[in-house]
Structure 1
Amino acid sequence: MDHTQLLSAFRDKGILHLKEGNGKVITLIKPELWKAEMGEDWTFLLFDLFQIRTICEPFSEVSLDIVEYANKPTIYHSPVNRIIKNGPIVNGVLKFSLILEPNWNKLLFQISQPVIVKIDTKEDTLHQTPILFPLLSPSTKEMFLGPEGEVKIIKG
């Protein structure tokens, strides 16, 4: 994956449309550029466990362990941090995923801030990668994680 070109495109516009290995176009955007008319089906992408603090209410150790030791791609639904004013928040809850796949993780690390992603946006793009986006895996799980350790499986 050519990170230099992708980073440049993202930094210039704050948005990046990228065709991944399955042929689906994903859209990455800075949260501050998100608008309500873009819909609510967006997920925050994180490259590091400590980034959870910036977007969610403080987590219990149990909830952090669940995120840290997940062995399959997982989208978590959790109460939003009060400092987050803009982004795809539904009834005080946002979605996030810790991306561990090395190439995608490196891209997110180089962006160096949480971004939000919408999957299969069908946008035209010149940017592509043969690397599969982890959240498009059929084994992707979804679960609610509460700050006090509450856990509810949404999609197993």
Structure 2
Amino acid sequence: MDHAQLVSAFREKGVLHLKEGNGKVVTLMRPELWKPEMGEDWTFLLFDLFQIRSICEPFSEVSLDIVEYTNKPTVYHSPANRIIKNGPIVDGVLKFSLILEPNWNKLLFQISQPVLLKLDSQKATSFHTSILFPLLSPTTKEMFLGPEGEVKIIKG
């Protein structure tokens, strides 16, 4: 994966369409470019545990431990931080995922901000990678994490 070329394209336009190893196109976008007509099926991608604080209400240690020690790709649903005024938030809840796969994590690190993801966006792109995107795995889990340690499995 040519990180420099991908990061440059993302910084230039604020959006990046990338065909991953399964042939699906994933779209990465700056959160400030999101508009309601784009739909609510977007997920915040994080490269570091501490980024959760910028998008979600403060978490309990239990909730942070769940995110930190989960070894399967997981999408979390959690109450959005009140400072986020615009974004794919439904009833005060947003979706996020901490991406641990080394190549994707490095790309997100180099972008250096939380980004929005839309899976299988059907967009044309000239960017390709053979590396599978972790959230497209059939073993991807979904769970609700509340700030007080509430946990609810949505998709196990």
* TM-score over 0.5 for the pair: yes
- Residue pairs, 1:1-156, within 5 angstroms: 1-156=1-156
Say which SS state the counterpart of residue 82 (structure 2) adopts: coil
Alignment-mate amino acid for residue 108 of structure 1: L
Letter in 1 for 2:151: V
User: 5+ unaligned residues in a row in structure 2: which ranges?
Assistant: none
- Structure 1 unaligned runs (5+)? none
Amino acid paired to 1:145 = L
- How many aligned positions are there? 156
Whole-angstrom CA distance in 1 between matches of 2:30 and 2:109: 14
SS in 1 for 2:58: coil
1:22-76 Cα distance to aligned partner (Å, 9 max, x none):
0000000000000000000000000000000000000000000000000100000
Distance 1:58 1:12 in 2: 32
Give 1:86 deviation, angstroms. Answer: 1.1
Please identify runs of 4+ aligned residues in structure 1 that moved more than 4 A. none
RMSD (CA atoms): 0.3
Identity among equivalent positions (%) equals 84
> How far, CA to CA, are the matches of 1:93 and 1:132 in structure 2?
27
Aligned mates of 2:61, 2:3 — CA distance in 1:
33
* Amino acid paired to 2:108: L
Indicate the SS of the match to 1:32: helix
> How far is the alpha carbon of 1:108 from its aligned partner?
0.2
Aligned mates of 1:25, 1:62 — CA distance in 2? 34
The letter of the residue matching 1:76 is Y
Aligned partner letter, 1:29: M
How far off its partner does 1:129 sit?
0.3
Distance 2:100 2:71 in 1: 10
Cα offset for 1:15? 0.2
Per-residue CA distance 1:83-106 (angstroms, 9 max, x = gap): 001110000000000000000000
